[in-house]
Amino acid sequence: MVDRFTVVGGRGFIGSALCAALHAGGNDVVSATHRDVPYGVPLGHVIYASGVSASTAEDASYAYAAHVEGVRRILDAGAFDSLLYLSSTRVYDGATATSEDTAPAVRPAEGRDLYRITKLAGEALCLAHAAPAVRVARLSNVSGANFASPLFLSDVLRQAVRERRVAVRTTRESAKDYIPLGEACRYLIAIARGGRERLYNVAQGENVANGTIYDALAARGIEIEIAPGAATVLTPPIDVRRLHAEFGPSRESLPALLPQLFEQFAAHFAAAHA
């Protein structure tokens, strides 16, 4: 099936992977930022992937512009066949349940909630829109060759290939949900084309313990150093029953892809220092 897609945030880690997957499928693809959406042409299926990471959301003005104002302008213009807004499963932080029907709680007085608050505001604009083809995907931790990311998995892999040792501050028992980049793109494109629901969790549905990652690196001769008093950080498993009922289970997993990811990081940093 060939369609027109506009990927907002198409130069980012997830956005660029979406553009590549869509191009590979023979689709007509436009990449844009939230500041330069080409409103003068039909946008087709919009995937709104523009945003800041949770670790860099301290800039309130930019987080609001990327997560809220940019999608508002597209919704107001209305020149799209569908719109899929990429939110985050981080909206469930502190919740005891993670189904799409769970009501997230936020703490506006805490600066670290800025990311979740602006993502939820963007969600609210989309879910309040009258068009059923306006949808939201709450995306889990995406695992892939994200060489510059400050997040845990990329940081550990960078240390491993550059220093042959990894120093961490979280225990082996710490665990979170990771969805492989290719699977995330497959689900997001399918939802954008015709998801039956307005809101989806896009996640693996089961957590990966840090110990699994540490052991995979240790098998390659990497020294693992866990700091004394390291914290155990556990996130509740993400409920993916809605996603799997419509689109089937994930075909890949982080543990199976770890050797490939290690090689990608090794090749990237070897080339950078050649």
Number of Cβ within 10 Å of residue 173's Cβ equals: 12
What local confidence, expressed as pLDDT, does residue 112 receive? Answer: 65
pLDDT single digits (tens) 24-60:
999 999 999 999 999 888 999 999 999 877 655 567 7
pLDDT > 90 fraction of the chain, expressed in percent and rounded: 84
Contacts of 180 (CB under 8 A, 6+ apart): 142, 143, 144, 204, 250, 252, 253, 254, 257
Task: Find the DSSP H helices in 92-180.
Answer: 114-127, 152-163
Beta strands 45-48 and 199-202 are unpaired
The CATH label, of 3.40.50, 3.90.25, 1.10.3470, 3.10.180, for the domain at 146-176+206-236+252-272 is 3.90.25
Map out the domains of the chain as residue ranges: 4-142+178-202, 146-176+206-236+252-272
Confidence of residue 109 (pLDDT cuts 50, 70, 90): low
The reply to whether 146-176+206-236+252-272 shares the fold of 4-142+178-202 is no
Q: Which 8-state DSSP code applies to residue 229? A: E
The pLDDT value recorded for residue 107 is 75
Q: Are 189 and 126 in contact (CB under 8 A)?
A: no
Name the CATH superfamily for 4-142+178-202.
NAD(P)-binding Rossmann-like Domain (3.40.50.720)
pLDDT digits (tens, 9 = 90+) for 160-195: 999 999 999 999 999 999 999 999 999 999 999 999
Interval 221-233: pLDDT, tens: 999 999 999 999 9
Write the CB contacts of 137 (distance below 8 Å, at least 6 apart in sequence). 84, 85, 86, 87, 187, 188, 191, 199, 200, 201, 202
- Please give the residue that has the higher pLDDT: either 183 or 273: 183
Q: Minimal CA–CA distance to 98: which of 65, 138, 39, 157?
A: 138
Instruction: Please tell me the distance from the alpha carbon of residue 15 to that of residue 50, in angstroms, as a whole number.
Output: 8
**Is a pLDDT exceeding 70 seen at residue 110?**
no
